[in-house]
Structure 1
Amino acid sequence: MHKICFKGAAKPTRKPFICGLNSLPVRELHAGHRAAILAHFLLLDSEDRRLRFGLPSTDVVIQSYVAELDFKRDAIFGIFDTNLKLIAIAHLAYLPVGNKRSKAAEFGVSVLAENRYQGCGAALLGRAIVHARNTQVTTLFVHCLAQNKIMVHLALKAGMQIDYAYGEAEACLKLPPANSSTIFAEAVNVQLADFDFAVKSNLNQSNKALRWLLKKTKAQ
């Protein structure tokens, strides 16, 4: 369903961040991450699920949502902790317009409770904005419950125009075309995220080997 950009409600409090290098490594996810994505959403409590999806969401609903994620059409981004657990996920969903690639996309994000207020949401939104511009998106939307103060704050921080109606908040941001800065920023962000993931993977493998060795030594 196409979202509408309303005018005249809440004004952005600062100039939007349009492109740049992320302070946190944000990795684009693929179908091989589906199980990790599901595990992330299942860790959200009932209230967090309601705020993220706009309505109460059971495990079955979330399983269906994750199973239907289209990684070829949309872009999914995530932030991993040192144990390779997905602590934050963003979904950049391209709004359908026939057989053509959409010029509009909707942004949704979730962060585990213990990892909030650490810049995860801002890093994901910044990464999504750069990717959206580089894929010719001209309008970015955020649709959430008005009670979702964290998401509303993030939208305002990004310079979005917000309108409130019937307990919901609708935000929109017009994006300028891609340029050499956005292309460079995305390329660097991809490399940094891949390097970060590789380091964490190697560290986890080393820790597993060390635990196995210690366990074997104690058994002798």
Structure 2
Amino acid sequence: MHNKKAINHLPVKPYTAGQAVPVRELHAGYRQEILDHLLQLNEEDRRLRFGTQTPDEVIAHYVECLDFNRDVLFGVFDLDLKLIGMAHLAYLPEIKGQARAAEFGVSVLPEGRAQGLGTALLQRSAVHSRNTRIETLYVHCLSNNKAMMHLAQKAGMRVEYAYGDADAYLTLPPASPATIVEEAANEQWADLDYALKEGLKRSNQAWWWLLGRPGMAR
């Protein structure tokens, strides 16, 4: 009995190092899930994600103003369809004579860390950027954001430091038939993964309803 309790309290890690992570593109219908995800970040995580202290009302305004027709958001869901990792790919205004660029921002809840979610979200964003003619992927963060700096350097980004901030740049090659096929395959796989988790969740809810019905033997 003691061992059973211990097992039940172990953290759930649906993704392990070296295992591919299904990344799903998010649409406006996920606005509530995005808000819930960001509100679960603690004070320090919010500071690292947004570069400053970020109260709940500022996060709510940020989510309310997300433009899904202009930018692209990606997410990773756990077995309970909780959004545990999220990336915002914001397309920067085009400037004549300069490369087309997009800014990458990412957040991962504590239970999803050290599982490759950040890397998967960055890779998914980079492929989508290439397929939409983005030439430079850009990250701006605090220089003491060790997780983001590690992710950027791991991806081969050029990092520049100034006045406590850090800018990282990744020059992207043009799209190719391989990147187009890769993105299509990723989308199909992420949709299938989500559908399977959704079916499992409904099945579990049905079982709990049956087991909890009044008059059922305990």
Find the counterpart in structure 2 of residue 62 from structure 1: 59
* Alpha-carbon offset, residue 59 of structure 1: 0.2
Cα distance per residue 1:86-131 (max 9 Å; x no partner): 0000000000137xxx821000000001211100000000000000
The correspondence for 1:43, drawn from 40, 45, 55, is 40
**Does 1 or 2 have the higher relative contact order (CA < 8 Å, sep 6+)?**
1
Aligned ranges 1:110-149 → 2 under 5 Å: 110-149=107-146
Structure 1: runs of 5 or more not aligned: 1-21
Q: Alpha carbon RMSD of aligned pairs, Å?
A: 1.5
Q: Distance in 1 between matches of 2:198 and 2:143?
A: 39
Q: Distance in 2 between matches of 1:194 and 1:218?
A: 39
The correspondence for 2:177, drawn from 177, 180, 194, is 180
What letter is aligned with 2:152?
Answer: A
Find the counterpart in structure 1 of residue 15 from structure 2: none
What letter is aligned with 1:212?
Answer: W
Aligned to 1:55, the other structure's residue is in SS state coil
Q: Does 1:75 align with 2:72?
A: yes
Q: Does 1:209 align with 2:206?
A: yes
Structure 2: runs of 5 or more not aligned: 1-18
Find the counterpart in structure 2 of residue 11 from structure 1: none
Q: Distance in 2 between matches of 1:219 and 1:72?
A: 50
Percent of residue pairs identical: 59
Aligned to 1:50, the other structure's residue is in SS state helix
Q: Distance in 1 between matches of 2:146 and 2:34?
A: 24
Q: Distance in 2 between matches of 1:218 and 1:106?
A: 57
What letter is aligned with 1:61?
Answer: V
The correspondence for 1:157, drawn from 138, 145, 154, is 154
Q: Does 1:85 align with 2:82?
A: yes
* Alpha-carbon offset, residue 64 of structure 1: 0.2
> Hey, which bits of structure 1, 4+ residues long, moved more than 4 A?
217-220
Find the counterpart in structure 1 of residue 191 from structure 2: 194
Aligned to 1:210, the other structure's residue is in SS state helix
Q: Distance in 1 between matches of 2:149 and 2:166?
A: 8
Q: Distance in 2 between matches of 1:96 and 1:215?
A: 55
What letter is aligned with 2:30?
Answer: H
Aligned to 2:213, the other structure's residue is in SS state helix
Q: Distance in 2 between matches of 1:219 and 1:200?
A: 28
Q: Does 1:52 align with 2:49?
A: yes
Q: Distance in 2 between matches of 1:145 and 1:113?
A: 19
